[in-house]
Amino acid sequence: MRTTVSRKNPYQMDRHTFLFLYHYCLQWPEKLERLQELEEDHTPAADDERKGIGMYMGRIRSTAEECSPIYAKIILQAVTTEGFTFERARAESPMPIRSEVYHNLLRRFYWLLSQKKLFTIVKS
């Protein structure tokens, strides 16, 4: 995995920021599985956890939609599925997509996500 971005790229970000966001998005399958486990649990703690997972998923979905309403579904699959390649995106996309466009959309997605506040630090 190449984790450096050209300085000419308008969506340039620090390598560690990118890797954080990359792994943040790859938690999607685990979060989805946990959400399904919580369906039967109606305790306040489970409600809070469901709310947190919903916020996580909403943040990623809205960023994909903001990045490109046309390709949002493909972007969402690409950032939440490890090993989702351009070839797979091209095969699964209902619209034709070029490699440069695909990779630029992913760069834009991670850049947009980096602009959002992902966590709130609560001081006690």
Distance, CA of 76 to CA of 59 (rounded, Å): 11
| 111: number of Cβ within 10 Å | 20
Radius of gyration of the chain measured on its C-alpha atoms: 16
pLDDT in tens, 54-111: 999 999 999 999 999 999 999 999 999 999 999 988 888 777 888 899 999 999 999 9
Q: Specify the pTM.
A: 0.84
Q: What angle do CA 109, 39, 80 make, to 5 degrees?
A: 20
Q: Using CA atoms, how far apart are residues 91 and 83, in angstroms rounded to an integer?
A: 14
| Complete DSSP assignment for 63-113 | HHHHH-TTTHHHHHHHHHSTT--HHHHHHH-SS---HHHHHHHHHHHHHHH
Write out pLDDT tens, residues 15-44.
Answer: 888 999 999 999 999 999 999 999 999 999
